Amino acid sequence: MDLIDGFVIWTLMVTCEGMKTVHPECSIVLHLQEKEAECQLQIGLTQSLFNYNATNTGCLVEWDGVNCWPAVSVGERVSVSCPPPLLKSHELITRTCTSEGWSRLSVSYYNACFQENSTEQEETGHTREYFARVKLIYTVGYGVSIGSLCIAVFIFCIFRKLLCTRTYIHLNLFSSFILRALAVFVKDAVLFADETVNHCTVSTVLCKAVVTFFQYCVLSNFYWLLIEGLYLQTLLAFTFTHTRKFFWCYILIGWGVPSVTVIIWTFFKHKYDNHGCWDDLDSGYWWIIKIPILLSVFVNFLVFVNISRIIVVKTKTPELNGGDRQLYRRLAKSTLLLIPLFGVHYIVFALFPEHVGLEARLFFELVLGSFQGFIVALLYCFLNCEVQNEIRKEIGKYKFRTDNNTFQMTTQDFTA
């Protein structure tokens, strides 16, 4: 009980620690929004005083988009620095109050605050090119995965003899991969189709719904990967068990747990962190989604280790005949192929912050993850011996019917 209490307390501490964090890229935008609101209040106050005292001469409070210039008399000079999020140099920006109003800036904000050196420009260009390549590759990967998974679903639905508890679980896993790929395409289309939109401040019902749908698809995909591992372990550990009775439990886990998790996450985001499009991974509420994912990956890792142990033990059992031993050896080989399918490779970056090893993380989670659905369809459908046998039978029947029809037509022509 002490261990459980400790885990709950740690979870709450981690969740509460980052409640008010924002994207580093958006910190400048939010900072300028706050300063603009403060400046507008000052502008309203000074305009009231100016109207009250019409003889007052000088420059009024002015917001130039970056800084708020105070009300001063003619001839006074005011110096300001770069905003805190962009404070890369100590160069001051100066303006003078003249009889015609505020003078121009002594130095532009771009030169004082935004200008990067050649090294930073090269790094920025390299990063943009890398992200563009990654997006192109994962777009192709998800497209290939959707196509192959749809074909696999069509094959299982056409050949009714293949339908059993195992294939029903496969079909749910295929569906979760299809939904995840579609969610990625929808998210990219809604959030990033227009590059002129300020994604740090946009907050629409549509973009929040898209991000919520995306989180649900990702969660359900991880949990159906977990169910595949649990089902394989059940088959190996309980050879004569009727696995059909576990199927509805698998349904509840695969679709129910993600639904409850996303509902809880949506409630907290709407009530306490209703900013932007809810795509802030630095927010503490992100742990509501991340902890179930980490839990599923960790359990799947334990399941994978246990499956490997069972296969090794049963392979070395002297009571097994040659056929059974050969079967377990094939299972051992297939289990090694299931490592990426179980999501075990996510353990590499699971406990690291989101900004650590960003390029490697993107490669694993986006590039390799985008082709994961294709690999699943390949192993569970296209390379499946039962599926191949059914396809051969149908091809044989089709050839037989075609040859028979040709023979009958030839016979009729000869008789005539």
Q: Are strands 62-63 and 68-69 parallel, antiparallel or unpaired?
A: antiparallel
3-state secondary structure of 94: strand
Structure tokens of 301?
A: 């890792």
Give the mean model confidence (pLDDT) for residues 391-410.
73
Cα 233 from Cα 239, distance rounded (Å): 10
pLDDT of residue 2: 40
Span 124-161, pLDDT tens digits: 667 777 778 888 889 999 999 999 999 999 999 888 88
Q: What angle, rounded to 10 degrees, do the helices at 2-17 and 286-315 form?
A: 140
Instruction: Please name the residues in contact with 218: beta carbons below 8 A apart, sequence gap of 6 or more.
Output: 180, 183, 289, 293
Give the mean model confidence (pLDDT) for residues 28-51.
75
19 with 269: CB under 8 angstroms?
A: no
Ranking 83-92, 135-144, 226-235, 392-401 by mean pLDDT, the lowest is 83-92
Band (pLDDT 50/70/90 cuts) for residue 407 is low
Tell me the average pLDDT of the chain.
75
Band (pLDDT 50/70/90 cuts) for residue 384 is confident
pLDDT of residue 13: 35
Question: What phi and psi values does residue 98 have, to the nearest 5 degrees?
Answer: -110, 175
pLDDT of residue 148: 95
Q: Which residue has the higher pLDDT, 24 or 69?
A: 69
Cα 89 from Cα 69, distance rounded (Å): 20
Band (pLDDT 50/70/90 cuts) for residue 32 is confident
Torsion of CA 334, 340, 345, 350, to 10 degrees: -130
Percent of the chain with pLDDT over 90: 17
Structure tokens of 170?
A: 């496969």
Closest CA to 216 of 244, 249, 248, 182: 182
Q: What angle, rounded to 10 degrees, do the helices at 385-415 and 118-158 form?
A: 50
At position 115, the amino acid (one-letter code) is: Q
Q: What angle, rounded to 10 degrees, do the helices at 322-337 and 286-315 form?
A: 150
Give the mean model confidence (pLDDT) for residues 225-231.
86
Span 301-311, pLDDT tens digits: 888 888 778 77
3-state secondary structure of 363: helix
Span 309-356, pLDDT tens digits: 877 777 676 665 655 556 666 665 555 556 555 565 566 665 665 555
Helix (H) or strand (E) holding 300: helix 286-315
Per-range mean pLDDT, top range of 50-54, 152-156, 365-369: 152-156
pLDDT of residue 58: 75
Alpha helices in 192-242 (DSSP H): 205-237
Sorted by where each starts, the structural domains of the chain and their CATH numbers stand as: 26-113 (4.10.1240.10), 134-398 (1.20.1070.10)
Burial of 263 (0-12, 13-18, 19+ CB in 10 A): exposed
Sign of CA dihedral 355, 361, 367, 372: negative
Q: Which residue has the higher pLDDT, 126 or 80?
A: 80
